[in-house]
Amino acid sequence: MSHYTYSILLKLFQDFGFANEELLKDLWIFRYSADFILARCEMIRKYKIVNIRTWMIRCPEETLLKHIRREMENKDILGEYSVTEYLSNKLECSENVAKYLIRKHPQLQTRSILKLRETIDFLYKHGFTSTHICRVSKILLHSKKTTEKRIKSLATLGVKSVSLYILTKSQKQYEEHIDNLLKSK
């Protein structure tokens, strides 16, 4: 590839706001044609995706569309609010507590807001309070499906008071807990 081609690509990446550090970490990005990169960047810009990453250029179109769909869902749910403000409102806690939860679990910042909302609503429905959720905030990173499955299995065993702490254990630790419950009966 000629120096001229690299210059064109660099200018294109700068125009779309790519950080130089990110480009240096992903040199494969320079293997794509300027036309392909431009088309991808325009597609991303069309949907007003703020943080454009190099993987968005390299990934299959289906993956990019899935990411865009999730971003759009998040924007619809959040509206004008940030993730911190949303969590603060949904968990009925201060913004400082919500910021702490995000610092403790940075994945909350990128988690699907739709899934986050479903998990919180599910936990409220099953009698957990915002205090419970804030104390064991790791539960927000677990899938609703797994949490539901575990609550049902504990209910089947006659456990009336389920601890969020137990629900967040690894599969192996959770199975050990179930075995201990069965042995104590």
Q: What is the pLDDT of residues 140-169, one digit of tens each?
A: 999 999 999 999 998 888 888 888 899 999
- Do 77 and 86 contact (CB within 8 A), yes or no? yes
Lowest mean pLDDT across 2-6, 25-29, 37-41, 52-56: 2-6
Handedness of CA 115, 49, 108, 83 (dihedral sign): negative
DSSP tag of 168? T
Which residues, at least 6 apart from 182, have a Cβ–Cβ distance to it below 8 Å? Answer: 157
> Dihedrals φ, ψ of 25, to 5°?
-80, -15
Q: Where are the alpha helices (DSSP H) in 51-143?
A: 55-58, 61-78, 83-90, 95-104, 113-125, 130-135
**In the structure, what pLDDT confidence band is assigned to residue 8 with cuts at 50, 70 and 90?**
confident
**In the structure, what pLDDT confidence band is assigned to residue 10 with cuts at 50, 70 and 90?**
confident
Domain extent listing, the chain: 3-78, 83-183
Q: Please tell me the pTM assigned to this model.
A: 0.74
**Residue range 83-183, CATH number:** 1.25.70.10
